[in-house]
Structure 1
Amino acid sequence: MLENPRSPRVRAVAKLAKRSARDETGLFLLEGPQSVREAIAFRPEGIVELFATPSALERHPDLRDAAADADIEVQYTTESVLEAMADTVTPQGIVAVARQFPTSLRDVLAAGPRLVAICEEVRDPGNLGTIIRAADAAGADAVILTGRTVDPYNPKVVRATTGSLFHIPITRGGELDAATSALRGAGLRIIAADVKGDDLLAARSAGLLAEPTAWLFGNEARGLEDEALALADAALRLPIYGSAESLNLATAASVCLYESAFAQRVS
Structure 2
Amino acid sequence: MPVSTKPQASVAHRQWAKLPAELSPVPMAVRESLGPESVDFTSARLRMVQRLAASGVEHTRVLKVMNSVLRHQFVDSALAVQAYEDTSLPIGLGQTISKPSVVARMCELLLQSPAGKMGLGRILEIGTGCGYQAAVLSLMAKEVYTIERLRALHEKARVNLRPLRLANVHLILGDGMLGFEKGAPYAGIIAAAGGDSVPQAWCDQLAEGGRLVAPVMGPGQQQVLLVVDRSADGFQRTVLEHVHFVPLKSGLG
Q: TM-score scaled to structure 1, two decimals?
A: 0.29
Pick 1 or 2: higher relative contact order, CA cutoff 8 A, min separation 6.
1
Q: TM-score scaled to structure 2, two decimals?
A: 0.31
Q: Which has the larger radius of gyration?
A: 1
